[in-house]
Amino acid sequence: MATKNSHDRDNNIVNPKHNPTVAALLSIIPGLGQAYNKRYGKGAALFILFAAFVIAMIDFITTGLQGLVTLGEVPREDDSRVFLSNGILSLIFTAFFLTFYILNIQDAFKDAKRIQLGWKVPNIREGFKNAWDTGFPYLLVGPGLFLLMFVVVFPLLFMVFLAFTNYNLYNAPPRHLLEWVGFENFINLFTINEWRNTFINVLSWTLIWTFVATTLQIALAMFLAILVNDPRVKFKKLIRTVFILPWAVPAFVTIIIFSAIFNDNFGAINLQIIEPLFNTRIPWLQDPFWTRVALILIQVWLGFPFVYALFTGVLQGISSDWYEAADIDGANRWQKFRNITFPHLMFATAPLLIMQYSFNFNNFNIIYLFNQGGPAVRGQTAGGSDILISWIYGLTFENQQFNMAAAISIILGLLVATFAFFQFRRSRSFKEEGTF
């Protein structure tokens, strides 16, 4: 590279007087560098855009950033939440502005360099066409990006900032002002006994829940798929239709129905199965252990059909040559499953199965609809079947401990991000392995 550049510099400089550094420096006022490059139309457009942005936004951004630092000064009059959200918006706008500002300087520098090497400046029409071509993908991404910014990124940022304030039931705007408290919420989470115990209990149940429920639903799906795939089984289409039903019926309906069926006093499970058989009733909704058992059973019911359908598709695609060869070698069923069926199933569906795990990790609906995270447990701020996401919901909308909810959200977010990172690397390595 370096040799090539110096080579260019020695031989091909056509306009040695045109200095890229000057162009870059001039575009500290956007557009001026472009004008120096004799691209007047582009320069004017840039200058007008930047000037318009600065004139329109400067007030909002400066007050917004100031507000982000102070979070309001007059209690009952200043709403800290509005200050916070305006501050975050200002940050986003500033980030946009800086990106474009840097791009503008880079652009002037690059053009100047090309002019130096004898590039002929396009006229306005050509320039417009070029801008259209390079700008087109941004135009396409624009609307989506805009929505994403406000509906996903902005709220997540807001959450992150909340975790460093003292926003809770007793200190809620607009009556009180919020203050920055640094890492106090995180420190409390790990040092105050009540919070620490709750956190450890909820986190361990979340992990157990994710692992057990998902693995069971995959195992059941695999078992049934192999069973039904047996060539001697008839009515395959009917069986498949019935097996897929739990996936087809909206989950929120079935979960509510299950919570009625599992009802301690007049649910069908207790009245029609447990009581006649064992002459007792199981406290499905009152006892944390039994609630968890019921949740896992219901999730298996809800979750196995999708995996079953996937597996059935893969099984039908495995060439019978494999099994014939295995028969010749005298392999028994277990060996055939272990060495042919299982690897095929796993290889074809691994990313989807991983997605099932991540889905259950944040499976708010079932936890909340079945027993609202309950039953309540003495001495902790979460119910006996709460997973992280439903605990956060409870803290936010029932206990109004916004600061703690936000702090836990950040921890949850970090867990999710780590997981996503590994999953991404995995799926890439899958790609590179090519076809089976």
To another protein, the closest distance from the beta carbon of 367 in angstroms equals 11
- The number of C-alpha atoms within 13 Å of 367 and in the hemisphere containing its C-beta is 29
Residue 332 lies near another protein (rule: CB under 8 A)? yes
Residue 349 lies near another protein (rule: CB under 8 A)? yes
Q: Which of 420, 422, 425, 426 binds another protein (CB under 8 A)?
A: 420
Q: Are 111 and 21 in contact (CB under 8 A)?
A: no
Q: Which residue has the tokens 């195992």?
A: 219
Site size for another protein, by CB under 8 A?
91
Single-letter amino acid code for the residue at 247:
W
Q: Which of 244, 246, 215 is nearest to 228 (CA)?
A: 244
Sole window of 27-35, 120-128, 235-243, 316-324 interacting with another protein (rule: CB under 8 A): 235-243
Q: Which of 159, 202, 282, 295 binds another protein (CB under 8 A)?
A: 159
Q: Which of residues 368-387 bind another protein (CB under 8 A)?
A: 368-369
Provide the 3-class DSSP secondary structure of residue 319: coil
Sole window of 12-20, 23-31, 201-209, 394-402 interacting with another protein (rule: CB under 8 A): 394-402
Q: What is the spatial distance between Cα 181 and Cα 160, in angstroms, rounded to a whole number?
A: 13
Q: Which of residues 83-102 bind another protein (CB under 8 A)?
A: 85
Q: Which of 178, 218, 224, 282 binds another protein (CB under 8 A)?
A: 224
Q: Are 313 and 319 in contact (CB under 8 A)?
A: no
Q: Which of residues 137-156 bind another protein (CB under 8 A)?
A: 137-138, 140-141, 143-145, 147-148, 150-156
CB atoms within 10 A of CB 282: 20
Sole window of 38-46, 110-118, 179-187, 392-400 interacting with another protein (rule: CB under 8 A): 392-400
User: What's the chain's length in residues?
Assistant: 436
Q: What is the spatial distance between Cα 432 and Cα 18, in angstroms, rounded to a whole number?
A: 47
Quick note: the x/- pattern for another protein over 67-86, rule CB under 8 A, is: --------------xx--x-
Q: Which of 60, 136, 289, 342 binds another protein (CB under 8 A)?
A: 136
> Six-digit token pair at 406?
């936000």
To another protein, the closest distance from the beta carbon of 42 in angstroms equals 17
- SS3 of 145-197: the string is HHHHHHHHHHHHHHHHHHCCECCECCECCCCCCCCECCCHHHHHHHHCHHHHH
To another protein, the closest distance from the beta carbon of 14 in angstroms equals 27
Q: What is the CA radius of gyration of the chain?
A: 31
Q: Which of 301, 323, 337, 357 binds another protein (CB under 8 A)?
A: 301
> Six-digit token pair at 176?
């009180």
Provide the 3-class DSSP secondary structure of residue 241: helix
To another protein, the closest distance from the beta carbon of 382 in angstroms equals 16
To another protein, the closest distance from the beta carbon of 296 in angstroms equals 14
E strand or H helix at 116: helix 80-116
Sole window of 25-33, 43-51, 113-121, 399-407 interacting with another protein (rule: CB under 8 A): 399-407
Q: Which of residues 250-289 bind another protein (CB under 8 A)?
A: 250-254, 256-258, 260-261, 263, 265-266, 268
Q: What is the spatial distance between Cα 142 and Cα 417, in angstroms, rounded to a whole number?
A: 25
To another protein, the closest distance from the beta carbon of 140 in angstroms equals 4
